[in-house]
Structure 1
Amino acid sequence: MVDANPPAASRPPATDARTRILDAVEVIVQARGVAALTLDAAAREAGVSKGGLLYHFGSKEALLVGLLARLATCIETEFHEDLARQPPGRGRTTRAMLARTFDHPETVSELHQRAAAIFLAAFHHDPALLDPIREVFARIREKLSEDGLRPGHALAVMAACDGFFMSRIFGMYELDGEEQRAFRTALTSLLESGT
């Protein structure tokens, strides 16, 4: 069985120390939870000195803030990439949300797993740390309100996609391929009936 989180020494080097440190924090939080995150553990996992780590992040909270900011940027960037691939017109943002949820299952599954550990760790440590993520979702929701659909349709699709995400985070249920196709068809039908 291949270790999904190999030690820092066996991973290819990241481009800079800050990225290596955030990658290391993510590995620690995913594997052992926020309680295992210390400055020493992060430095060791990243392959940097403690002084090098402190140059970029002065505290455990700063590590978590950096991790959440990076995840927020990743979520927003990937969403806008999906949005750019959608044809203009009514429902464009809602179609992008469906694409984000269903079109790249491997990427989305990996992002869900990463986000799950980070969201839960941050919420457990300090719920305010999730503010950058909340801001991203507020901007997406604002775009949905400009989507030109009848009231409630875009929000229902967003809530369903978020529910799918939450079901994965908490391991409540997993949809097989056929169920995902049926789920997407139903959401697409809701989108189209709102135009």
Structure 2
Amino acid sequence: MLDQTSETRDTRERILDAAESVVAERGVAALSLEAAAAAAGVSKGGLLHHFRSKEALLTALVERMVAEMRAGYDAVVAAEPEGPGRHTRACIAWALRPSPEQRARDLRLAAALLSAHAHDPALIEPVRREHARIRAAIADDGLPPGHAHAVLAAADGIFLAKVFGLWSPDEALAQAIEAALGRLAEPC
């Protein structure tokens, strides 16, 4: 039997999942408290128990996204060998070698991010801070000036191209891009 805290956490996560689904499937404009409640199978009052406003819902989506972003990036860094270029190599792997599950998750997270930004650009401040943390790590990665930041810019561009459906590299192109960026991640 679940305790009340577990039930509350499960309901909260179900509402956040539902809000992500609404945005991913129907677009930013479709996200309302009513739509999120309906998609989660809870009453609007039940949703308001967890999130008192659309802004609170979006804030929680962004906070969850940042936690996932941090955990995912840190796991990729941990898998890289220590030494100069470690964080930069992790950026390359993060951009070009996500699991199929992570690719789908990234698109849902990006949809939530876009929804929060459309509602109020200040809501994505936690994402800005996390990105700054990553930039600081790669800036101190022991590489020549500009190399790590060029890799990060490319990784960000690849991610945004996927999010907006502009393009996604096939396997051969991803390998070629990885090799080119990998040269930038080598200490000189």
Deviation at 1:135, TM superposition (A): 0.9
Q: Is the 8 A contact 2:62 2:127 kept in 1?
A: yes
CA distance in 1 between counterparts of 2:77 and 2:167 reads 28
1:23 aligned residue = 17
CA distance in 2 between counterparts of 1:93 and 1:141 reads 9
For these two proteins, the number of residue pairs brought into alignment is 182
1:118 aligned residue = 112
Q: Deviations over 1:77-135 (max 9, x none)?
A: 10001111111111111111112122234134213311331222222211111111111
CA distance in 2 between counterparts of 1:80 and 1:102 reads 16
CA distance in 2 between counterparts of 1:18 and 1:111 reads 18
Say which of 158, 172, 175 aligns to 1:178. 172
Q: What one-letter code is carried by the residue in structure 2 that aligns with 1:131?
A: E
CA distance in 1 between counterparts of 2:150 and 2:71 reads 23
Q: What one-letter code is carried by the residue in structure 1 that aligns with 2:132?
A: A
1 or 2 for the larger relative contact order (CA 8 Å, sep ≥6)?
A: 2
The two structures have a TM-score, normalised by structure 2, of 0.90
Q: Name structure 2 gaps, 5 residues minimum.
A: 1-6
CA distance in 1 between counterparts of 2:85 and 2:138 reads 8
Q: Which 10-residue stretch deviates more, 27-36 or 153-162?
A: 27-36
Give the % identical residues: 47
Q: Name structure 1 gaps, 5 residues minimum.
A: 1-12
Runs of 4 or more, structure 1, over 6 Å off, are none
The two structures have a TM-score, normalised by structure 1, of 0.87
Q: What one-letter code is carried by the residue in structure 2 that aligns with 1:75?
A: M
Q: Is the 8 A contact 2:28 2:115 kept in 1?
A: yes
CA distance in 1 between counterparts of 2:65 and 2:8 reads 17
